[in-house]
């Protein structure tokens, strides 16, 4: 098919994320992707500044991941996981347990499903059905996951009638990460991580947990970075406090590491900033290096023992192809100097985004690990911003008040400079 035909049939049949059919916003045909670049139908090459939604950390079309997929497909693409097992799944589970200290692993088919499973674990464990979370979060698009997404930014206005009511503590302050000099006076500025946590916020968080402790099944949060809920970075002390409160009241702590896992924030997991271990953890997105959908929900042996029979079991559970690629992706991660790479990306983003700090229409510029954010005063015009950044050879997908990037770790400082320049150029359109 030529690109025109793809677009014609796309308009006729295909739903894209959060759009109508036909989509009111432009879509672009991708012919191939290799390294950190995607090639469009018209031959244009764009740096994938989104790592295809946080996932393609090693870049696209990686020879090692391709080989893992080929080797596995020659053995088997899939077998059911009920009553059968195989090396790719077991090896991956063993690997994830070693990385997290959480010994029991449920392999799920997407991040949202991993969150559903985490919630089921907490409900089966405690016999309770109320969760506590903080505002500003995002945990996925399925119903239980939606119920703990931010009730204003999320989809509660559409589906509220079907969502259980949970407890929402206030959103954590934006008080972590690094900001280029000259950013908003309302936020800490300067190149170093700011000082202590907000004591008033800690008190609010504590009060919220204490007020509901006797009916909570679990506390569920994204550690340190709230992703799709607003790209907010918050002090690890809040997470540490939640850990302490959970222990004190015998409540489980669920860490949704689907966006933050595997090095994105500069630590292997968001929880590592706080030096804590959750009782239940969800991972996904970068787990397969962006190759295919796979996620996992991990918990301690203590939690698993008390649950006993966990009532979930997807058709494609433990898919061998996805597990083999995930195993290869974790091998690559272990081999690559990701800590230095992420630190280099962080430095390049701080440099590159500095000109946006204080620009008209810009509320805040912030960077943490391989995440760079320009927050705007007004909601952005997505198509207009995309047009500008694509003119700079970069692919981004802004939303709400955010123009942001989380590039593949394989990006060079020059690639990151290019992405940053495109983001800064886009602020001219605000």
Which one from 109, 285, 364, 404 is the annotated catalytic residue? 285
CB of 190 vs ligand PLP, minimal distance in Å: 28
Give the residue with the Cβ less far from ligand PLP, 188 or 369: 369
Q: Contact between 407 and ligand PLP (CB under 6 A)?
A: no
Rule CB under 6 A: is residue 278 a binding residue for ligand PLP?
A: no
The answer to whether residue 259 forms part of the interface with ligand PLP (CB under 6 A) is yes
Among 163, 258, 350, 406, binds ligand PLP (CB under 6 A): 258
Q: Which residue is nearest to ligand PLP (CB)?
A: 111
Site string for ligand PLP, 68-107 (x = CB under 6 A): ----------------------------------------
Per CB under 6 A, 284 contacts ligand PLP: yes
Would residue 138 show up in a list of annotated catalytic residues for this protein? yes
Query: Residue 10 annotated as binding?
Result: no
Among 116, 150, 256, 279, binds ligand PLP (CB under 6 A): 256
Query: Which listed residue (18, 214, 305, 387) is catalytic?
Result: 18
Q: Which is nearer to ligand PLP, 222 or 279 (CB)?
A: 222
Q: Which of 48, 125, 138, 415 is catalytic?
A: 138
Q: Is 115 in the site for ligand PLP (CB under 6 A)?
A: yes
Looking at the DSSP bridge assignments, the partners of residue 375 are 364, 402
314 annotated ligand binder: yes
Is 384 annotated as ligand-binding?
Answer: no
At how many degrees (to 10) do helices 413-426 and 382-391 cross? 140
Q: According to the binding rule CB under 6 A, does residue 112 interact with ligand PLP?
A: yes
To ligand PLP, the closest distance from the beta carbon of 320 in angstroms equals 19
Under the criterion CB under 6 A, does residue 110 sit at the interface with ligand PLP?
yes
Residue 140 binding ligand PLP, by CB under 6 A: yes
In the sheet that holds 402-405, the strands lie side by side as 362-368, 371-376, 402-405
Residue 246 contacts by C-beta under 8 Å, 6 or more apart in sequence? 209, 218, 219, 252, 253, 279
Q: Are 403 and 376 in contact (CB under 8 A)?
A: yes
Segment interacting with ligand PLP, rule: CB under 6 A, options 69-77, 237-245, 251-259, 336-344: 251-259
384 is catalytic: no
Contact pattern from residue 181 through residue 220 relative to ligand PLP, giving x for each residue in contact according to CB under 6 A and a dash for the rest: ----------------------------------------
Q: How many residues bind ligand PLP (CB under 6 A)?
A: 15
Phi-psi region of 99 (alpha: psi -120 to 50; beta: other; left: phi over 0): alpha
**Is 285 known as a binding-site position?**
yes
Give the footprint of ligand PLP on this chain (CB under 6 A): 110-112, 115, 138-140, 222, 227-228, 256, 258-259, 284-285
- Show which residues are catalytic: 18, 138, 256, 285
- Residue ranges for the known binding site for substrate are 53, 138, 285, 313, 397
- Residue ranges for the known binding site for pyridoxal 5'-phosphate are 111-112, 256, 314-315
């Amino acid at each position: 098919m030529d690109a025109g035909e793809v677009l014609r049939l796309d308009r006729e049949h295909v739903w894209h994320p959060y759009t109508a059919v036909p989509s009111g916003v432009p879509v672009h045909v991708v012919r191939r992707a290799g390294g950190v670049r995607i090639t469009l139908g018209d031959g244009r090459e764009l740096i994938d500044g989104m790592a295809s939604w946080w996932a393609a950390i090693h870049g696209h079309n990686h020879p090692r991941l391709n080989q893992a997929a080929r080797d596995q497909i020659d053995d088997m693409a899939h077998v059911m996981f009920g009553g059968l097992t195989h090396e790719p799944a077991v090896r991956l589970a063993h690997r994830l347990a070693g990385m997290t200290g959480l010994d029991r692993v449920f392999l799920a088919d997407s991040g949202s499903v991993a969150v559903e499973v985490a919630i089921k674990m907490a409900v089966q464990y405690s016999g309770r059905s109320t969760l506590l979370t903080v505002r500003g979060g995002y945990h996925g698009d399925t119903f239980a996951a939606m119920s703990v997404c931010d009730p204003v930014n999320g989809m509660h206005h559409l589906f509220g009638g079907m969502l259980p009511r949970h407890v929402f503590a206030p959103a954590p302050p934006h008080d972590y990460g690094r900001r280029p000099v000259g950013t908003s006076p309302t936020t800490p500025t300067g190149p170093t991580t700011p000082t202590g946590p907000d004591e008033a916020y800690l008190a609010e968080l504590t009060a919220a947990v204490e007020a509901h402790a006797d009916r909570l099944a679990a506390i569920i949060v994204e550690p340190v970075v709230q992703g799709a809920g607003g790209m907010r970075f918050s002090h690890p002390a809040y997470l540490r406090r939640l850990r302490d409160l959970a222990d004190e009241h015998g409540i489980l702590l669920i860490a949704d590491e689907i966006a933050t896992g595997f090095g994105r924030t500069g630590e292997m997991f968001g929880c590592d900033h706080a030096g804590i271990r959750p009782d239940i953890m969800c991972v996904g997105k970068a787990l397969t290096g962006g190759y295919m959908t796979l996620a996992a929900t991990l918990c301690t042996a203590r939690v698993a023992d008390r649950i006993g029979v966990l009532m979930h079991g997807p058709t494609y559970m433990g898919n061998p192809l996805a597990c083999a690629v995930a195993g290869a992706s974790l091998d690559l991660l272990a081999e690559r100097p990701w800590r230095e790479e992420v630190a280099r990306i962080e430095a390049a983003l701080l440099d590159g985004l500095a000109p946006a700090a204080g620009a008209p229409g810009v509320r805040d510029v912030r960077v943490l690990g391989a995440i760079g954010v320009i927050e705007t005063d007004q909601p952005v015009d997505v198509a207009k911003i995309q047009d500008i950044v694509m003119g700079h050879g970069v692919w981004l997908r802004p939303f709400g008040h955010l123009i942001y990037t989380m590039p593949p770790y394989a990006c060079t400082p020059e690639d990151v400079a290019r992405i940053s320049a495109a983001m800064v150029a886009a602020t001219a359109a605000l």
